[in-house]
A and B are shown apart, each in its own frame.
Chain A
Amino acid sequence: MSKQETSQMSAPLPPQAIASGHEGNLRDQISAYGSRLKNGEMGALPAVGALAVLTGLFAALSPFFLTKLNIANLFVQAAELTTLAVALVFVILLAEIDLSAGVTAGVAMDIFYLTVKAGLPWQAAIVVALVFGAAVGALLGYFVAKIGVPSFVVTLSFFLAFQGLALVLLGDGGLFRVDIPEIKAIMNESLPTWGGWVLLVVMVGLSAGLGFWDRARRAKQGLVNRPISILAIKLATITILGGGTIFFLNLNRSQNALKPIEGVPIVIPFVLALLFVGNFFLDRTRFGRHLYAVGGNPEAARRAGIKVGAIRIAAFMITSTLAVVSGLFHVSRIGVVEASAGRSIVLSGVAAAVVGGVSLFGGRGKLIHAAIGAMVISMIDNGLGLLGLSAGISFLVTGSVLALAATIDALSRKRSGSSVLRS
């Protein structure tokens, strides 16, 4: 037995018992977290660090950065990218890629526009657009899972073809206004101030509910629970960060004294709901577990009886469908559908997921990582724009951040893999 294993055995446990990682007091839990970090399981930590550094940097360099109006803008800008990045996580977890997600969203919005123009209500048009997204995903998944075309190639071909399809649908240089108040409201209007506080109560309530439910279920099986202080810290963090943000967004940020702008932008609860539901599926259902398994080792998943092809197709369908949602947010923000929509944002979406800590090698990463990554990318864009730097500089910086994130991903993978060779 190696030294390492011997020292593990001397942990203060009853003889013969195998731990579950839930044992020990707060200090033990923190040191266990520290050793996971050392083993390369860094999660979103580098991205959170980047957020803190960027906030400090831009706040120091630009007096406008921390203004109420800019912060609200930043959240709205990030919402669109977050949705796309979250969508992409589902295929990236399988070590696949969907380069066509952006243009799929673009074409879906063209179809949305044409459906409304044809006289159908906008609600039905949204359903049509979402169904189109799901169908495209099913087709992509079929090519990847059943025929065996690499996802890079098949989604690249869709990326090219759908740019053409958008031109066919809207005509050359097509650009059409979408004047539906409900759609425009998503990105341009805010909740009443009390709505923000309701949102906070729901968030904290759901987190507390799940936290206590998990503890109760473990206790019922006679298993050890983590110290309750960890749950308390988590809930306090959500309350303070969420409450602070909502308080800030509830202040009047209008520069026009006659027309106040205050409240949480309507898109925020949508994005939070998406994160919560998506996370629930990934963490707490068989589908989510199988998705991670296929991403980690498809052969092992197949031998365990998991229908690998079906999982792949489902992942592509989720990605395309959620991408359409981000397309809807885009249309809501700019108020027009255009033939060139969605060409460039998909790469930012991939960048956001990777910067946030979702591994391109598959099997590792959470939706919240993509959201944090999207915040980083949006903040770089926003901050450099405020400093009056050109779009060229913004691309250069974003590219460097992505390269750094991908390097961290590759190195941490190496480190966590190297333990095989130890002992």
Chain B
Amino acid sequence: MAEPVIELKNITKSFGPVDVLKGVDLKAYAGKVTALVGDNGAGKSTLIKGLSGVQPYDGGTVHFEGQEVNIHDPRQASALGIEVVYQDLALCENLDIVQNMFLGREETSNGTLSEPTMELEATQALQSLSVRTVKSVRQKVSSLSGGQRQTVAIARSVLRNAKLVILDEPTAALGVAQTEQVLNLVRRLADSGVAVIIISHNLVDVFKVCDDIAVLYLGRMVAQIETKKTNQTDVVGYITGTKTYEGSK
């Protein structure tokens, strides 16, 4: 198999006496969607915060595109090409879609904003994901539905040429139709050559869109399996600890 975009080996992290991550391995490949599942408290958020640079790991190694890296702040993660789409999306409702997509990285010429350039690039990023649910790129985010907001947040990572996009519960707050749209978007994002990691509690979604499933149980990675080689009952077993994953094939 090709080289993974990101490879975590033996990652550890403790908060005082509590060991949250006890030697976790994880791989994510370009063009593939990897699900990160696990019960509350399994350590999913801690694992992601380390990748995004918000909370550096205590031990273990991180390889990004084969190079060992040491991510200790968000800007560094961003410079590598790691983008996290948080559950609360971090969009400014009073700004429009283009303004949100370029927030903090506005393009300027002679000190003034290059609105037409940004509008064009934002439109192209949305079109590269075949987004059709957005009426106008100059709509205020306050007028968008939850699914449309998720779309904007994901398209923003495309605009930043992300190589690894981490989505935190992208469908948690969405209805059926919008969940479908967002999952399709995630698929297209991966198909464009990006490595995607999704954190999700919804196994139906996971089986619909993910290529790989990684299961965290009490700070240990108990399984990383190809989706087509497993089934929901087994995965629920790994998540709850009632089943043990027997070796890789």
Q: Which residues of A contact B (CB under 8 A)?
A: 1-2, 5, 8-9, 11, 16-22, 39, 41, 214, 217-218, 220-223, 284-286, 289-290, 292-293, 295-297, 299-301, 303-306, 362-364, 416-417, 419-420, 422-423
Whether B95 and A41, one on each chain, are in contact in the complex, defined by CB atoms closer than 8 angstroms, is no
A21 x B99 contact (CB < 8 A): no
Residues of chain B within 8 A (CB-CB) of A290 are: 104
Taking a contact as CB atoms under 8 Å apart, the answer to whether B146 and A217 are in contact is no
Q: Chain B residues with Cβ under 8 A from A296's Cβ?
A: 92-95
A41 touching B140 in the complex, CB below 8 Å, given contacts A18-B123, A292-B92, A303-B90: yes
The segment from B17-25, B60-68, B105-113 that touches chain A is B105-113
Pair B92/A301 contact, Cβ less than 8 Å: yes
- Give 3 nearest A-B pairs by CB, closest first: A304-B104, A296-B94, A363-B94
Of residues B99, B126, B136, which shows the largest number of chain A Cβ atoms within 10 Å of its Cβ?
B136
* Residue pair B93, A417 in contact (C-beta under 8 Å): yes
Q: How far is the CA of A363 from the CA of B142 in the complex (A)?
A: 12
Q: Judging by beta carbons under 8 Å apart, are B132 and A16 in contact?
A: yes
Q: Could you say which residues of chain A place their CB within 8 Å of the CB of B139? A: 21
Our pick among B88, B92, B116, B138 for the contact of A221 (Cβ within 8 Å) is B116
Contacting residues, chain A, for B106 (C-beta < 8 A): 286, 289
Some 24 contacts from A to B, beta carbons below 8 A apart, are A5-B135, A5-B145, A18-B134, A18-B135, A19-B137, A21-B138, A217-B115, A218-B116, A221-B120, A222-B120, A285-B108, A286-B106, A289-B99, A289-B103, A290-B104, A297-B94, A301-B104, A305-B104, A306-B103, A416-B93, A416-B142, A416-B143, A420-B142, A420-B144
- CB contacts between A and B, total, < 8 Å: 137
In contact, A223 and B119 (Cβ under 8 angstroms): yes
B159 contacts the other chain (Cβ, under 8 Å)?
A: no
CB neighbours (8 Å) of B144 from chain A are 419-420
Closest to A23 in B: B136
Which residues of B are found within 8 Å of A5, using beta-carbon distances?
133, 135, 145
Chain B residue at smallest Cβ distance from A288 = B113
Of chain A, the residue at the smallest CB distance from B52 is A303
B177 at the interface (CB under 8 A from A): yes
A297 to B143, CA, bound (A): 15
Given known contacts A20-B138, A303-B90, A284 and B145 CB-to-CB distance under 8 angstroms: no
A13: min CB distance to chain B, Å: 9
- Interface residues on chain B, size class: 35 or more
Residues of B within 8 A of A39 (CB): 143
**Across the interface, which residues of A come within 8 angstroms of B114, CB to CB?**
217
Query: A20 near B136 (CB under 8 angstroms)?
Result: yes
| Interface 1/0 per residue, B158-175 and A, CB below 8 Å | 000000000000000001
Q: How far is the CA of A42 from the CA of B90 in the complex (A)?
A: 25
Interface contact A293-B127, CB-CB below 8 Å: no
Q: Which residues of B contact A221 (CB under 8 A)?
A: 116-117, 119-120
Question: Which residues from B are CB-within-8-Å of A417?
Answer: 93, 142
Q: Are B92 and A220 in contact (CB under 8 A)?
A: no
B91 contacts chain A at the CB level, 8 A cutoff: yes
Q: Is the CB of B131 within 8 A of A419?
A: no
How many angstroms from the CA of A270 to the CA of B85 in the assembled complex?
46
Interface bits B139-154 vs A (CB < 8 Å: 1, else 0): 1101111110000000
A19 contacts B135, CB within 8 Å?
yes
Q: Is B75 positioned at the interface, with any CB of A under 8 Å from its CB?
A: yes
Residue contact A420 to B145, C-beta cutoff 8 Å: yes
Docked pose: A41 CA to B75 CA in angstroms: 35
Task: A300 to B141: give the CA distance in the assembly, Å.
Answer: 13
Q: Kindly name the residue among A19, A20, A223 whose own CB sees the greatest number of chain B CB atoms within 10 A.
A: A20
Give the interface centre of B74, B103, B177 by most chain A CB atoms within 10 Å: B103
A16-B127, A19-B136 known; A300+B91 contact, CB < 8 A: yes
Q: How far is the CB of B195 from chain A (nearest CB, A)?
A: 21
Nearest-CB residue, chain B, relative to A221? B116
**Residue B230 lies at the interface, judged by CB distance under 8 Å to chain A:** no
Q: Which residues of B contact A301 (CB under 8 A)?
A: 92, 103-104
Chain B nearest CB, measured from A409 CB (Å): 13
A19 to B132, CA, bound (A): 10
Q: Which residues of B contact A223 (CB under 8 A)?
A: 116, 119-120
Question: How far does the alpha carbon of A355 sit from the alpha carbon of B132 in the complex, in Å?
Answer: 39
Contacts of B91 in A (CB 8 A): 297, 300
User: Which of B88, B114, B116, B133 has the most CB atoms of chain A within a 10 A radius of its CB?
Assistant: B116
Instruction: Find A292's partner among B74, B95, B117, B120 (CB 8 Å cutoff).
Output: B95
Give the CA-CA distance A9 to B114 in the complex, in Å. Answer: 28
CB distance from A209 to the nearest CB of B (A): 13
By a CB distance below 8 angstroms, the chain B residues around A292 are: 92, 94-95
Question: Within the assembled complex, what's the spacing in Å between the Cα atoms of A17 and B123?
Answer: 8
Question: B27-50 vs A: 1/0 string, CB under 8 Å?
Answer: 000000000000000000000000
